[in-house]
């Protein structure tokens, strides 16, 4: 059973296009996250939603817009894609009231902008 899933796993697109990455978790968690891993493998948080409410919004260009239709889903929409957006994007989820605070990660989406 997949705990945190992302679609697509790979995305190749042209500069200037708009694309979306979808994330779903079946763990019943109340918080979901988007992280970006750049070409040097550095991981940085982008957004976090708790019960569909945005609680973390790091200094991310406003071309990136997260949307959480319900607690189990957090999608990432990117407008006017740029070369520098090429990265692996990870979705994660956790139960913030839980004892462990463990975040469960999805398999990642490798975005390549040409």
Distance CA 109, CA 5 (A): 10
Footprint of other proteins (CB under 8 A): 31, 33, 35, 40-45, 48, 50, 55-56, 88, 90, 92, 94, 96, 100-103, 105, 107-108, 110
| Min separation Cβ 108 and other proteins, Å | 5
Nearer to other proteins, 8 or 16 (CB): 8
Beta bridge partners of 67: 75
Q: Which residues contact 38 (CB under 8 A, 6 or more apart)?
A: 44, 87
How many whole angstroms separate alpha carbon 26 and alpha carbon 1? 9
The answer to whether the CB of 50 falls within 8 A of the CB of 30 is yes
C-beta of 14 vs 97, nearer to other proteins: 97
**Cβ at position 101, least distance to other proteins in Å:** 5
Q: Which is nearer to other proteins, 50 or 79 (CB)?
A: 50
């Amino acid at each position: 059973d997949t705990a945190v899933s992302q679609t697509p796993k790979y995305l190749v697109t042209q500069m200037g296009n708009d694309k979306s990455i979808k994330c779903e978790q079946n763990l019943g968690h109340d918080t979901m996250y988007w992280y970006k891993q750049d070409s040097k493998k550095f991981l940085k948080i982008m957004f976090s939603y708790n019960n569909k409410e945005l609680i973390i919004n790091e200094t991310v260009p406003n071309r990136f817009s997260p949307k959480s239709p319900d607690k189990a889903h957090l999608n990432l929409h990117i407008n006017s894609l740029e070369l520098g957006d090429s990265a692996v994007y990870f979705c994660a989820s956790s139960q913030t009231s839980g004892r462990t605070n463990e975040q469960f990660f999805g398999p990642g989406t490798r975005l390549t902008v040409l």
